Amino acid sequence: MASANSVQDCLETRTDVSREGLRQAILDNLFYVTGHAREMAEVHDWYAAVAYTVRDRMLSTWVKGLEKLAANRNMRAVAYLSAEFLIGPQLGANLLALNITEPVRGALSDLGQSLDEIIMKEPEPGLGNGGLGRLAACYLDSLASLGVPAIGYGIRYEFGMFTQEIRGGAQVELSDKWLRQKFPWELAHAEHTHVVGLGGSTSTHVDEKGRLRVRWKPGKKIMACAHDVPVIGHGGRECNVLRLWRAEAVDTFDFESFNAGEYFKAVQEKIFSETISKVLYPNDDRYQGKQLRLGQQFFFVSASLQDMIHIQKVLGKPLATFHETFAIQLNDTHPAIGVAELMRLLVDEHLMDWDQAWAITTRTFSYTNHTLLPEALEKWPVELFAEVLPRHLEIIYEINRRFLDEVRAAHPGDDDLLRRLSLIEETGPRYVRMAHLATVGSQAVNGVAELHTELLKRDVLRDFAVLTPGKIRNVTNGVTPRRWLALCNPGLSGLITSRIGEGWQTRFEDEIIRLEEFASDPQFQKLWREAKHANKVRLAELARVHAGLTLDPETMFDVQVKRIHEYKRQHLNVLRVIALYNRLRRDPGMDFTPRTVIFGGKAAPGYYMAKKIIKLINSVGQTIDADPAVAGRLKIIFAPNFNVRNGQVIYPAADLSQQISTAGKEASGTGNMKFGINGALTIGTLDGANVEMLECVGRENFFLFGLTTEEVAQVKQAGYDPRRFSESVPELGEALEQIASGMFSGGDREEFRPLVDNLLSRDDYLVLADFESYMECADRAASAYADRDNWTRMSILNVARLGKFSSDRAIREYCGKIWNIRVG
């Protein structure tokens, strides 16, 4: 390992990567860092010892990464601002990046320990809900692997995403105490702290130089403490940092109250301060005007901007060139308050004039939109905003005033346009529109798939698209082939590498296509099938041990794992399973591809319908399980607690990937890509990135069904009546009738009434309209599966042609189209 000067002074036990050296180091860390005697150590202690051993081996690159940022005065760094980073388990990924998995495995085996067992014991930092949080983590991996200097900025939630248990078929949420044992990957940096204000009031005064100035006197002050997690690039040569802020009480504040004899108040202030980074909101579909959430957003954004300004100073650069040092990416509108906060820091704190500050701000920020669902667009009631961030509301008004003046000058007399573009919604109660703030404050806005970007330009941001053509761009999402193939699927990875070498791990978009050549090779097909089969056995084993479920690896694994949401239409999938069940019961002798339909995903705790869907999946599963007539042919199961770790076992085991959202609703989807690069074929609608996946793999290798976005609009336009479908499609009517009759709920007709009633009366997501097309397509997929050789050929072709969906490609596009950063 290359060693920086500072490292040369250190003991070799912290850098040696030989099996023997690692063995020594693990023992050393076990004793001196975790404080355990070898004889008494439990799996978790061994985990910690290994983690520290690996962390030691990252530190020289880590420190060099920071030095590089500091030394390279002309380099622009990415600051990726995200309320979520779903980084997943770290040990396996870091071992892979450093290429020391085998020596560590050997060292542990010399110590009588199993690396695989230790890896399974690692608590997972669940600092995100789903796609958006995981995307941020994939992008950090690619940034580091491509050698692009970057800092991820987010929140160190004490409680991440809840743990899901299934009791009596229903979701139960347990709090996620991922920090119960120390998180060995982070370094807490007491020296990197910033004070963040909240609430209070503003006043104006004329300063000593005669300038009119605004003073914000916050009602509360909170300290943000940096906790840094290393993000090592593939090959271990580059290291970036994920800086997560933890909220702490500002000591002086305590003392003020304390000295005034208000001990109780002092302690309460402390408790409030720490509340800010306490818990992740487990909501990924519906914006809720919760005061604490706005507090969280401002807290991490303000700390991050202060941190960047501090770095700018350390670099000895003037604030006037801030935008040359940093390209700030807003991961959805959650950090959009940064636009107003940077203005405040520049204008109020650093006395810059407004126009210059605005020029810098709008050259610094870019914004990624992840949703078209109107109920998911963030808008804060003006009154609440004024309470939490009075100064920022004034700044937003000022931004809006100047912005609308410009619009008025360009489009005189168009008051309706002004109303539509305004940062403030004024029809009824007034709201701050965060997507508008993010768009006006950014130099570029992007959607996350071609279709999504087109719809953004047509609907949600239409007026902006007309006003500033070219500002709204597309960068289709991608996933890291390191975690989502190399790490999670060693069997298939080894096979791929045996034919095309290991270049695909770093140049996926160029190299993986070379697999095409082997698609019809019978020997290769056989090995490909064996790798898939082994992954199915691995999943079955895990499901048995951890959830008491029995899965038969000889059946087709037909999988839908993702957050539970009506627009993702898990209930459409359940209706299909019920219809299949009915067919089997009617005609036990029928030709039928034996199937295991696997579901997984969390429902937001307050999302009633989503929870009903989980209950329905489990209820149908029970009923089918209890029926000997279909045994061994059809099974439906719900895999509890879908998270990154479980995903790493589930994606590689899937034969068929369900991507069945209503066209126009799923911005991109990234699970579709993870399934695809692990050799699952997709059954899906023309939605999100499915469209581009289909283009890449070819229609003949994709199971396409359902209404298009345009057809969805037409059906709704014409006055959609779901009952027409339940009446005219016998299998559909029958399934709905069975659910309503209590067939899956022990005769209880109330349990699923809300679900059935909703489908029959509203069906906002056109489940019934797409049912017939879906059934027909799923039948085609099942028949295709029966032709093993052809299925395998299609599976190989899918993997070979999905190179585009690497997050390395996505990050290169961001560098070129959005950040103006050169990448080697």
Interface with ligand 26Q (CB under 6 A), residue from 85, 185, 287, 774:
287
| Joined tokens for residue 771 | 């049912």
Strands (E), 313-361: 326-331
List the strands of the sheet with 424-425, edge to edge.
379-381, 431-433, 424-425
Q: Which stretch binds ligand 26Q (CB under 6 A): 111-119, 140-148, 371-379, 775-783?
A: 371-379
- 370 catalytic per annotation: yes
Asked whether 677 and 799 are in contact (CB, 8 A), the reply is: yes
568: annotated active-site residue? yes
Q: Considering the rule CB under 6 A, would residue 668 count as an interface residue with ligand 26Q? A: yes
The distance of closest approach from Cβ of residue 360 to ligand 26Q in the complex, given in angstroms and rounded to an integer, is 27
Give the count of beta carbons closer than 10 Å to the beta carbon of residue 520. Answer: 14
Count of residues engaged in binding ligand 26Q, rule: CB under 6 A: 23
How big, in percent rounded to 5, are the helix, strand and coil portions of the chain?
Answer: 55, 15, 30
Residue of 434, 667, 732, 782 interacting with ligand 26Q (CB under 6 A):
667
What does DSSP assign to residue 337?
T
Torsion of CA 809, 811, 813, 814, to 10 degrees: 170
Q: Say how many Å lie between the first and final Cα of the chain, rounded.
A: 23
Alpha helices in 72-162 (DSSP H): 91-98, 101-110, 115-121, 131-145
Long-range interactions of 435-439: CB distance < 8 A, separation 24+: 435/333, 435/336, 435/369, 435/377, 435/378, 435/460, 435/461, 436/464, 437/333, 437/336, 437/337, 437/339, 437/340, 437/396, 437/399, 438/330, 438/333, 438/336, 438/339, 438/365, 438/367, 439/367, 439/464, 439/471
CB of 490 to ligand 26Q, least distance (A): 26
The CB-of-250 to ligand 26Q minimum distance in angstroms stands at 26
Q: Which of 674, 801, 804, 812 is catalytic?
A: 674
Catalytic residue among 105, 194, 370, 615: 370
Which residue lies nearer to ligand 26Q by CB, 242 or 336?
A: 336
- The residue among 25 and 667 lying less far from ligand 26Q, judged by its C-beta, is 667
Catalytic status, residue 674:
yes
Give the C-alpha separation, 754 to 751, whole Å: 8
Q: How many other CB atoms are found less than 10 A from the CB of residue 605?
A: 14
Q: Is 154 in the site for ligand 26Q (CB under 6 A)?
A: no
Closer to ligand 26Q at the Cβ: 164 or 477? 477
Q: Report the C-alpha gap between 362 and 285 in whole angstroms.
A: 28
Q: Does 132 bind ligand 26Q (CB under 6 A)?
A: yes
Selected from 65, 88, 92, 130, the binder of ligand 26Q by CB under 6 A is 130
Residue 284 near ligand 26Q by CB under 6 A: yes
Closer to ligand 26Q by CB, 325 or 476: give it: 476
Instruction: Measure the CA–CA gap between 506 and 500, rounded to whole angstroms.
Output: 13
Instruction: Confirm or reject binding of residue 755 to ligand 26Q (CB under 6 A).
Output: no
Residues 679 to 698 in contact with ligand 26Q, rule: CB under 6 A = 688
Half-sphere exposure of 412 (CA within 13 A, CB side): 1
Which residue in 135, 487, 492, 800 binds ligand 26Q (CB under 6 A)?
A: 135
Point out which span in 32-40, 104-112, 218-226, 368-376 binds ligand 26Q (CB under 6 A).
368-376
**Do residues 232 and 244 touch, judged by C-beta distance below 8 A?**
no
Between CA 824 and CA 810 the distance in angstroms is: 15
Closest residue to ligand 26Q using C-beta atoms: 131
**Rounded distance between C-alpha atoms, residue 454 and residue 695, angstroms:** 17
Beta-strand pair 365-368/444-447: parallel
| Strands, sheet with 703-704, edge to edge from the N-terminal-most edge strand | 634-639, 595-600, 556-561, 656-659, 681-684, 703-704
- Under rule CB under 6 A, residue 131 binds ligand 26Q: yes
| Interaction between residue 477 and ligand 26Q (CB under 6 A) | yes
Among 13, 114, 181, 283, binds ligand 26Q (CB under 6 A): 283
In the bound complex, what is the minimum distance in angstroms from residue 333's beta carbon to ligand 26Q? 8
* Residue 734 burial (CB count, 10 A): 15
Nearest approach in angstroms of CB 155 to ligand 26Q is 12
Can residue 309 be called a binding residue for ligand 26Q (CB under 6 A)? no
- Is 562 a residue that touches ligand 26Q (CB under 6 A)? no
Residue 669 within binding range of ligand 26Q, rule CB under 6 A: yes
Measuring CA to CA, which residue among 810, 722, 802, 820 is closest to residue 769?
Answer: 722
Q: Check if the beta carbon of residue 128 is closer than 8 Å to that of residue 468.
A: no
Catalytic residue (choose from 134, 323, 433, 562): 562
Binding residue for ligand 26Q, selected from 55, 105, 370, 612, defined by CB under 6 A: 370
One of 323, 433, 568, 633 is an active-site residue; which one?
Answer: 568
Instruction: Build a one-symbol-per-residue string for 321-360: x at contacts with ligand 26Q by CB under 6 A, - elsewhere.
Output: ----------------------------------------
Per CB under 6 A, the segment of 129-137, 484-492, 507-515, 693-701 that binds ligand 26Q is: 129-137
x/- contact string, 399-438, with ligand 26Q (CB under 6 A)? ----------------------------------------
448 vs 755, beta carbon nearer ligand 26Q: 448
The residue type at 155? I
Identify the residue among 176, 463, 666, 751 touching ligand 26Q (CB under 6 A): 666
H, E, C per residue of 450-485:
HHHHHHHHHCCCHHHHHHCCCCEEECCCCECCHHHH
Question: Per CB under 6 A, does 142 bind ligand 26Q?
Answer: no
Q: Which residues bind ligand 26Q (CB under 6 A)?
A: 129-132, 135, 281, 283-284, 287-288, 293, 370-371, 376, 378, 448, 477, 666-670, 688
Active site residues: 370, 562-563, 568, 670, 674
